[in-house]
Amino acid sequence: MKLSDIILEDDFYGKFKSEALELTNEMKDTYNRDDIEVSITQHSNGEKGIGEVKIRDNESIRPSEYQNMKNFLETKGFEITGGANFYEEEEDRRIYPNIKFQFDI
């Protein structure tokens, strides 16, 4: 198998594309925000799904809203594994508020 086959393999990177889009839309509707993006991939060991909610806002969001988003994800069955509620701009990149999560496949 070539490296390009692994990188482009639909089962690894595209497996949760529809779930990520569905969760993105649900969170946008729930929180009345258009700046939410969700990405979900499969961990390389194949046993866990890992994801990230990114809020593309140029400042941190209200702490209560951030906590509410984490609670929302937990009610969906996701385990929160990290994240940070801050915005930072460096020379060549921007760090947005985010929530990282995982789940069993």
Q: What tens-digit pLDDT sequence spans the chain (105 residues)?
A: 444 444 444 455 578 899 999 999 999 999 999 999 999 998 777 788 999 999 998 888 999 999 999 999 999 999 999 999 999 998 889 999 999 999 998
Q: Are 91 and 78 in contact (CB under 8 A)?
A: no
Model pTM?
Answer: 0.83
State how far the Cα of 87 lies from the Cα of 105, in Å rounded to an integer: 31
State how far the Cα of 37 lies from the Cα of 22, in Å rounded to an integer: 11
